[in-house]
Structure 1
Amino acid sequence: MSVKIRIAIIAVFLPMAIAAQTVAPPPQPLHFVNDHWTPYDPPTDIPDDAMVHVIVKGDTLWDLAAHYLGDPFLWPQIWERNPYIRDSHWIYPGDPLIIDLAVQEAEVEEFEIPVDESVTSDYLDDTSGVEEELPYPLGRSADVYCFAELIEDESIFPFAIASAEQIQFQTQFSEGNIVYIDGGVEQGVQAGDRFFILHRLRPLKHPISNSPLGVVYQQVGQLKVLCAQENTSIAEIYYACDPIVIGDVLEPFKPIPVPLVIAPDPTDRCDVPNGKPLGYLTYNRDDQVDIGTNWLVFLDLGAADGIYPGTFATVFRDNPVKGMPRLVMGEVGVLRVEEHYSTAIVTRGWAPLEVADRVEVK
């Protein structure tokens, strides 16, 4: 039995469309690895079930995302899965790119086993209706990069956008715009550094206790430093979820993977309490009153409560009629987790959900 790595080599002969003055210098030094030159240290222990693309001349992450993922704007997802590439503008022919995990069908050797027909069994041997459940991504890249964060200490943000190249003509900025940030070499900033861009929305209080939970910051984009001066830096916005404005704060970039999950048993109206941690829905984007399937929400349960990405929870309300069963409303799946809260996506709902609805870990 053997499992083979699928290697897709796609030739994309398109010119590089990035002007030299907006790109950091190529990484150095080059060294010879597996018959090609590269400044990186490409992995050698690629999983057997990985889909791999070997870079050829003319490839860009933008084009590869369009080809493999169906959307060129998902190119950061490929970059995240290949952390050995330090600069997304510079990829080198011969280096491997892990695109995604692919399910492989193993080769099966067939042979006959003698059967003693005199032996019978009390068990049914009909498994024709059984299908193996395969993991699937709980959400999209935009679900973890374009929602919000709940910040307890606002002093954690080291820098902010202080100006922009087109500040005399624009009040809002997006992908491709050049901005200036109030941190430089003296503060540890260097060319190639990447940051999340966050926009302050409002303080958030618990819907039941009214106690302060923190301040909601909307994730509006990402930028990359082109060059750094003593106390300032010039950067380019390379990913935008919403309009970006002067004063938006920066947070050091770190990849946020979308969890792969296996679907739990479907939430059912007849599900009874299981004794696991209980919490509440505390926030949803744009403060919509009714929350539906695929909406993103905050839960007041986090790592301190044993929550981890891929956890599922039942959404319910107490029955207004005393002595009656609780009202099961739907289900959420957890995308990312912080110490005292988590971000979740509504995976099922047969009635509109609301902030202050309760959740129970499945």
Structure 2
Amino acid sequence: MLQHLSQGLRTGVAVALLTVATFAAAQGVRGDHPDTYVVVRGDTLWGIAGKFLQRPWLWPEIWQANPQIQNPHLIYPGDVISLSYLNRVGVEPGPREEAPINAIPLSDIEPFLKNRSVVDGFDHLPHVVALEDSRLRASPERRIYVANLDHASAGERYAVIRPSAEFYGTPRARGLDYRGARIHGDTNLWRDLVPRGRDDAFLGYEVVQMGVGTVVHGPTEISDMSVIELDLEGLDVRAGDRVVPVNPQPYDLQFFPHPPSGDALSRDAQVIAVADALTSGGPRDVIAISAGSADGVDNGTVFSIWRSGPYTIDRVYHPDTSRINDASNPGARRYRMPDEYASHAMVFRTFDHVSYALVMESTKPTRVGYALKHPDAQY
């Protein structure tokens, strides 16, 4: 009897889960969706989902409502997406002559995918001592001279990186000079304009790839330097830059949008930097957030980004107070204002405690210090 009860329970749970998934599919589909859609080259998972789903990050849940789909992670040009049967999404496979489509347009973010990473330290890495012709900057196709690259062999490929910032759990990234030292006089005045997080731990150093080159030869009898010739494309290299082996595939080629895990949400993460900007970014800008793979964040994780409600003086009852409005911390005679939605962002590269995300859509600028929430959060 217990066995029959167990089997019945499993069957009931399975039916319930399928019902829930089907309900999620019906609730997530736009009312004006077409009956079918043919995937074309240049599509992205986010873009397609936005055509017929109210919430693009529900893509996996919609797919789970259709067990006939063999691999929900791989959608190809020529596939026919059908939405005509009870608002359920299904796919009729097309030819498999081209590569599967990606979650986001990689061409928009490829410089950031390749050029920015987070490391625990860099003092131990080989570094550039001098440049060809004793130049101050080495342009593409010039040679650089590297110390402590003792076992380099001709033909090996290396990337030249430069430390750019220190990341912390609260938005107080410190700028670094080309040697990786803190910039003298850099006080980060703007950090006092954003709320403090609960965790002020050091998260890592951001390093930016300046160029890639090929080893010409290693140390010789007359010099301890290894010689690297830079590729045609790249940025200016200078003495003090570090050198690391080239990572042939530094990021996932295939991932899909999905809501964050409970562990990721419990991290109380914030925006800690905006690539190539001081404090603000918009759609297709890259941001750094204070949560990574160790916190349950993976590629494709979608967050909503919110301005934390400031503490504001009620001037009706306190018209003569000298206290400032819009303070980031509580105080006498201040009221906490509601949080305000700013944007959605999707993670595309993760490290232990830091991730990079692409701002997908927004109603206002995304700023350093803004909080990360579930993509369906209402307040």
Normalised to the residue count of structure 1, the TM-score between the two structures is: 0.55
Please, which of 332, 335, 340 is the counterpart of residue 353 of structure 2?
340
Q: Of the candidates 155, 170, 173, which is equivalent to residue 138 of structure 2?
A: 173
Alpha-carbon shift at residue 278 of structure 1 (Å): 3.2
* Cα-to-partner distance string for 1:232-283 (whole Å, 9 max, x where unaligned): 3211111644321121111222121354344559xxxxxxxx9665301111
State the distance in 2 between where 1:279 and 1:106 align: 37
Aligned to 1:103, which of 69, 76, 81?
A: 76
Q: Mark the CA change 1:103 to 1:287 in structure 2 (over 3 Å): closer, same or farther.
A: closer
Residues of 1 paired with 2:361 and 2:77: CA distance? 30
For residue 86 of structure 1, what is the aligned residue in structure 2? none
Asked if the contact 2:257/2:301 (under 8 Å) is kept, the reply is no
8 Å Cα contact 1:139-1:258 kept in structure 2 = no
Point out the structure with the larger helix share.
Answer: 2
Contact 1:137 1:259 in 2 (8 A): no
The residue number in structure 2 matching 1:311 is 301
Gaps of 5+ in 1: 1-67, 70-100, 108-123, 266-273
Counterpart of 1:154 in 2: which secondary structure? coil
Equivalent residues in 2 for 1:94-243, closer than 5 Å: 103=76, 105=78, 125=85, 135-140=102-107, 141-146=110-115, 148-157=116-125, 159-167=126-134, 170-184=135-149, 187-205=150-168, 206-207=170-171, 208=196, 211-230=201-220, 231-238=224-231, 240-243=233-236
Matched-pair contact (CA < 8 Å) for 2:117–2:208: yes
Contact map agreement 2:257 2:300 (CA 8 A) in 1: no
In structure 1, C-alpha distance between the alignment counterparts of 2:245 and 2:212, rounded to whole Å: 10
Q: CA RMSD in A?
A: 3.6
Aligned equivalents of 1:155, 1:192: Cα separation in 2: 25
Which shifted more, 210-219 or 278-287?
210-219
Give the letter for the 1:150 counterpart.
V
Query: 1:137 and 1:188, CA in 2 relative to 1: closer, same or farther beyond 3 A?
Result: farther
TM score, norm. by length of structure 2:
0.53
TM-superposed CA distance for 1:172, in Å, is 1.7
Q: CA deviation at 1:355?
A: 0.8
Deviations 1:285-320 (A, max 9, x none): 344232111112211101111111222211112333
Identity of matched residues, %: 17
Paired letter, 1:351: K
Deviations 1:97-155 (A, max 9, x none): xxxx9935489xxxxxxxxxxxxxxxx84769978896434533212112x33333233
What is residue 269 of structure 1 aligned with on the other side?
Answer: none
2:269 corresponds to: 279
The alignment covers a number of residue pairs equal to: 235
Residues 313 and 155 (structure 1), Cα distance of their counterparts in 2 relative to 1, 3 Å cut = same
Matched, 1:331 2:344: yes
Q: CA deviation at 1:156?
A: 4.0
Aligned-partner SS, 2:106: coil
Is the alpha carbon distance of 1:106 and 1:286 closer, same or farther for their aligned partners in structure 2, counting shifts above 3 Å? closer
Instruction: Indicate whether 1:260 and 2:254 are aligned.
Output: yes
CA separation of 1:319 and 1:125: change in aligned 2, threshold 3 A = same
Letter of the aligned partner of 1:160 in structure 2? H
Which whole-Å CA distance do the structure 2 matches of 1:135 and 1:250 have between them?
A: 31
Q: Partners in 2 of 1:131 and 1:343 — Cα distance?
A: 31
Q: How many angstroms apart in 2 are the aligned matches of 1:197 and 1:233?
A: 13
Say whether residues 1:294 and 2:284 are aligned partners.
yes
**Unmatched 5+ stretches in structure 2:** 1-40, 43-73, 93-99, 172-195, 312-334
